[in-house]
Each structure stands twice: as structure tokens, then as C-alpha cells.
Chain A
Amino acid sequence: MVEDVFRIIMRVAGENNISRIDRVDIVIGEYLQIKPSLFEFAFESAREGTIASAACLNLETRMVELRCTGCRQLFLLKDLKYSCPRCGSGALEITDGRDIYIKSIEGE
């Protein structure tokens, strides 16, 4: 996963003529169960010897947000209870917190 992140960072930096990356903001959805501390550790190993070698990583996590497909209730996942708090239905769609994305890259 960190490899994928790095491939995108390097491509975006190349496209924008950035020769030194100072800061990367990444958002991780909690649905993915990626532990931020492990991600940070892998990021620190991956950045060595690249234009991001001194980059500061800012990680933000997003809670899992669900919508009941029956009564349309929108709610945040709590204690891994995948059922609607209003009508009890288990037919849900995930509306947030299932992706990992790069929010911004800063450098010059």
C-alpha cells in the first residue's frame, strides 16, 4: 500500500516539477484497518533516498460512515455494529471511511 502511495506521490511531483517534497497529507479510512503507526513506519523506510526523504507525513483517519438503504438514516460506525440504529436493518452502504487517498503534497 505504501508502495502505491509512493508511486502516486512521485508521479504527481514529476508532473508539477517538484524537486523536493516537504509534506504529504494522507487520509486513511478506518474500514481498511490500516494501522497509522505501521503506515508511518513503512513511509519512513520508503522515503529514504527519494525527493521525499525529509518529507513530513500527516495522517488523518476517517470514521466509517454508513447509510441505511431502507430508511436512509446516515450514521457513524460504532463498535463494529453494522446495523441501522433507527430501523435495525443490515442493508447498508458505506458512504465514507473506506478509501485511502492523498489529500495534498507540498514541496518546491
Chain B
Amino acid sequence: MKRVLDRNRDMAARVREKLGVRNVIMINLISSPGAGKTSLLEKICEHLSGEMRIAVIEGDVATDRDARRIEKYQVPVVLINTDGGCHLDSNSIDMALREFDLDNLDVVFVENVGNLVCPAHFDLGETFKLAVVSTTEGDDKPIKYPMLFREAMAVVLNKTDLLIHTDFSHETFLADMHQVNPGIPVFELSCRTGDGLDEFLEWIKLSVSKKV
């Protein structure tokens, strides 16, 4: 019997150890395309790069557009183009981490490829996964993609400013979310207006300082 994901899991364990001995936290951001991962990272870099040493790994199917958006904040960025691949794996993360001076970092944010299924299968050696969803995607994501929302440590619901223009049911979303993962923290915010962002950034600060 051969477990198919063992090779990825073994490398993830090595990545986790490499980060652990240096006290570096790694947060793996997973969402659909267009939910706002890069916007959220921009906000994190804008508000927190003064008080913690941040680096970003950008996973993208193609182009360096997201990486260029992050570079503006003067944080080290490594781009992984998957050339059509629908997720990142621990081997590509291990390679990307070699580009950073890990002894002088507190946290590495990984922006996974936009996809709610495959990225949840592949352990990257992260400290935890953060799921990002947006109101315009509909309220049914937690129940349709339960693995991600179970594996995630917390959830960001982005684009709350657009809520009034959608049929998104807050009640359904939260009920499904807590059915799939009871007690998971949900941060409701809008990267565009900044509403709700403070609470989320405080949580990130706490996660990085406590090394959860």
C-alpha cells in the first residue's frame, strides 16, 4: 500500500522543521480566484510590515502581476508560476524558501493558486491555512468545499461592502461554516473600504507573536 501524498507530506514535514527552528510562522492563504487574497496581503503588508518581518510567496498559474502588487510594499517576494498547475506543493515551497533570509523573518505568507479543492490536499509545511471567501461568490462555499474549511484555522469573509448587492445569506453561510467546522473564527471585512480589517490584523499579530 502506497499513500499517494506521502512524498508531499514528508517534504512538508521538513519545511515545517526548517521554519520551526527559526521561529518563523507560515500562513497558507487559500481561496477561489478573485476572492481577494492579494488585496488582503496588500493590507497586511501595508499595516504590519513596520512591526513584523514579512515575506511573501506568490503562487500563480501564470504572470507576475500579483507579485508586482506585493513588491510595492518593500517585502521580499518569491513568485512560483505553476504553468497551469492548480495548486502549490511542499517541494516548490522548499525551493522558494531558499530565496529568503529565514533568520531575519517572522512570518511567510503563501498565496496559493486560486482554487478551493486541490490546495487543501497539499500540506506545504505551513503553520496554518487561512481560507478567504467573498460575499459575491455566494454563501454555499463552506458546504461545497468542506475539506478546506475544516483544514483552515480561520476564515476571512471579504467584500462585505458588496453584501447588499448580492443574495448572500449571512445566516446560511455561518450555519454551514459551523456545521463543517464548529467554532472556527470568521473575520468579516472589506479590503476595499477597510471595514473590519483592524480585528483581523490584530488576530494576525497575535498569531505571529504567539507562534500558534
- A1 and B121 contact, CB distance less than 8 A: yes
**Please, how many angstroms separate the alpha-carbon atoms of A62 and B7 in the complex?**
21
Docked complex: A12-49 residues within 8 A CB-CB of B: 12, 31-33
Count how many chain A residues have C-beta atoms less than 8 Å from C-beta atoms of the other chain.
Answer: 19
Q: Which of B99-107, B140-148, B189-197, B199-207 lies at the binding interface?
A: B140-148
Docked complex: A69-108 residues within 8 A CB-CB of B: 80-83, 90, 99-104
Distance in Å: Cβ of A104 to nearest Cβ of chain B: 8
- B4 and A80 contact, CB distance less than 8 A: no
Question: Is A5 part of the binding interface, using a Cβ–Cβ cutoff of 8 Å?
Answer: yes
Question: Is B165 part of the binding interface, using a Cβ–Cβ cutoff of 8 Å?
Answer: no
**Please, how many angstroms separate the alpha-carbon atoms of A12 and B208 in the complex?**
42
- B2 and A82 contact, CB distance less than 8 A: no
Q: Within 8 Å CB of B183, what residues of A?
A: 90
- B147 and A83 contact, CB distance less than 8 A: no
Question: Among the listed B2, B7, B178, B181, which residue makes an inter-chain contact with A102, where contact means beta carbons less than 8 Å apart?
Answer: B2
With A33-B147, A80-B146 in contact, do A5 and B4 touch (Cβ < 8 Å)?
yes
- B182 and A8 contact, CB distance less than 8 A: no
Q: Within 8 Å CB of B145, what residues of A?
A: 33
- B1 and A100 contact, CB distance less than 8 A: no
Q: Within 8 Å CB of B181, what residues of A?
A: 82, 90
- A32 and B179 contact, CB distance less than 8 A: no
Q: Within 8 Å CB of B159, what residues of A?
A: none
Question: Is B153 part of the binding interface, using a Cβ–Cβ cutoff of 8 Å?
Answer: no
- A101 and B150 contact, CB distance less than 8 A: no
> Looking across the interface, which residue of chain A has its beta carbon closest to that of B118?
A1
Question: Is B117 part of the binding interface, using a Cβ–Cβ cutoff of 8 Å?
Answer: yes
Distance in Å: Cβ of A96 to nearest Cβ of chain B: 13
Docked complex: B156-183 residues within 8 A CB-CB of A: 178-183
Given contacts A90-B178, A90-B183, A103-B1, 16 further A-B contacts (CB under 8 A): A4-B4, A4-B5, A4-B7, A4-B8, A33-B147, A82-B146, A82-B150, A82-B179, A82-B180, A90-B181, A90-B182, A99-B4, A99-B5, A100-B5, A101-B2, A102-B2
Listed from nearest, the 3 A-B pairs whose CB atoms lie closest are A90-B182, A101-B3, A102-B2
* 9 sampled A-B residue pairs with Cβ under 8 A: A1-B4, A4-B8, A8-B4, A32-B121, A90-B181, A100-B5, A101-B1, A103-B1, A104-B1
